[in-house]
Amino acid sequence: LSESGVPQLVQPMIWDYAADLDVEGKVHLIEKYRRCGFSKVWFASAFKGATGANQSLTLIGHHLKNHLQWLKVASSSPADVLEGIALTGWQRYDHFSVLCELLPVAVPSLAVCLQALKNGGYSEKIKENVEKLLGMSNLETETFMR
């Protein structure tokens, strides 16, 4: 890769939607990319559509945990390596599948994930802020929203 010149033309994106992603493994992967000459990498997470092909509701806690893990990867990596994070919201698993959870039911998950990334973590104060922004009285992250 180093000799090909590719690292001067592209920036790799590391995808992982798991709530328990391997932080240490991702840090080692970033180190390998750096040794190959890539100066920047992107992360890719999901705020919806990554927990089941026939999912109709979004389990916010799963996506929040994923973003908190990505924050750990970022804080364990060199400060100048992260170019950005793409928050994906998958609509279906393939072109022949039914739609998974639609955007309206996933808006609270998107808000929670964005606030967690913006604030470098998640707390009761951030939860209250999201509730206020969305006009909700009780944001549930560990069960499906009612």
Spans of all domains in the chain: 13-134
Which residue bears the tokens 């959870």? 101
Task: Output the pLDDT for position 48.
Answer: 94
CATH for the stretch 13-134: 3.20.20.80
Phi-psi bin for 61: left (phi > 0), alpha (psi -120 to 50), beta?
alpha
Task: Output the pLDDT for position 145.
Answer: 56
Task: Output the pLDDT for position 77.
Answer: 96
3-class state of residue 55 by DSSP: coil
Question: Rounded to whole angstroms, what are the CA distances from 113 to 38, 62, 94, 122, 127?
Answer: 27, 10, 24, 9, 11
pLDDT tens for the chain, 146 residues: list them.
889 999 999 999 999 999 999 999 999 999 999 999 999 999 999 999 888 877 888 999 999 999 999 999 999 999 999 999 999 998 887 888 888 888 999 999 999 999 999 999 999 999 999 999 999 988 988 876 55
What is the value of pTM for the model shown?
0.92
Residues in the chain: 146
Sheet with 13-15, edge to edge strand ranges: 13-15, 41-48, 82-89
